[in-house]
Amino acid sequence: MAGIAPHWNEFETRDALAASLADVVAEVLRTAISRRGEAFLAVSGGSTPGRFFAALSREELDWGKVTVTLVDERFVPETSSRSNASLAKANLLQNAASAARFAPLFHEATTVEDGAHLADSALKTLPWPLDAAILGMGGDGHTASFFPDAQSLDVLLDPASTRIVMPVHAQTAGEPRLTLTLPALVNAGLVVIHIEGAEKRNVIEAALAAEEPLPIRTVIDRAPRAAEIYWAP
């Protein structure tokens, strides 16, 4: 199923991208606060969002009315260097944004399945839909934790899923993971795919051209509004 074509936003530098994306997301959060009294944002982990986090953390808005969660997480505690929660807390929930509430995906549990149930219940109490989902993408075409080799990928990408958080097992992912489901992500008011470098641009262009979609293509195709791709070399 081909969906709405994404909209490309291209920048000469990664700093320019970060500043522009931070301005856009801050405005989305301000508008949500004025419309419904609160705002809800999901961000990615990985190596890409650092500059964006730093710029967004300095935006002036009523951060006390903002809830921040993650699009995905490794099944590791915040003490791990691989924790996306610890990355977001150290880089986004700083400066003005230190007043925001953080809703983690990781919960102490014996299995990632139990942890995902705990996260699902906790996140169901939050003000859905997301106002903005800021996705990244790996060089293999995964986004959130929708890895091409994930077990039951079709369940994770089920547009009719009633789950918000699901466990993920994928050989290429390293440890087990937790991910927001496809509907939880694509129904955000703003869906951004933040990628940097020629290699990732090639991956996304190939995914958009290919017959057999990679997970990134499924997310783009299932978004009810055009996904916004933010790219810099």
- Interacting residue ranges for ligand LXAUTJHC, rule: CB under 6 A: 44-48, 71-72, 84, 136-138
Q: In the complex with ligand LXAUTJHC, which residue's Cβ is closer, 71 or 132?
A: 71
Q: In the complex with ligand LXAUTJHC, which residue's Cβ is closer, 33 or 193?
A: 193
> CA 209, CA 215: separation in Å to the nearest integer?
13
User: Closest distance between ligand LXAUTJHC and the C-beta of residue 139, in Å?
Assistant: 7
Q: In the complex with ligand LXAUTJHC, which residue's Cβ is closer, 196 or 221?
A: 196
User: Closest distance between ligand LXAUTJHC and the C-beta of residue 80, in Å?
Assistant: 13
Q: Which amino acid is residue 172, in one-letter code?
A: T
Find, among 35, 190, 177, 184, the residue nearest to 124 by Cα. 184
Alpha-carbon dihedral angle through residues 17, 133, 142, 45, given to the nearest 10 degrees: 70
Q: Which residues contact 217 (CB under 8 A, 6 or more apart)?
A: 141, 207, 208, 210
Q: In the complex with ligand LXAUTJHC, which residue's Cβ is closer, 39 or 42?
A: 42
Cβ atoms within 10 A of the Cβ of 25, count? 23
> CA 111, CA 2: separation in Å to the nearest integer?
36
Q: In the complex with ligand LXAUTJHC, which residue's Cβ is closer, 33 or 91?
A: 91
Three-state secondary-structure class, residue 78: coil
Burial class (CB in 10 A: 0-12, 13-18, 19+), 77: middle
- Helix, strand and coil percent figures for the chain, each rounded to 5: 40, 20, 40
User: Closest distance between ligand LXAUTJHC and the C-beta of residue 77, in Å?
Assistant: 15
User: Closest distance between ligand LXAUTJHC and the C-beta of residue 103, in Å?
Assistant: 16
User: Closest distance between ligand LXAUTJHC and the C-beta of residue 171, in Å?
Assistant: 14
Q: In the complex with ligand LXAUTJHC, which residue's Cβ is closer, 47 or 171?
A: 47
User: Closest distance between ligand LXAUTJHC and the C-beta of residue 85, in Å?
Assistant: 11
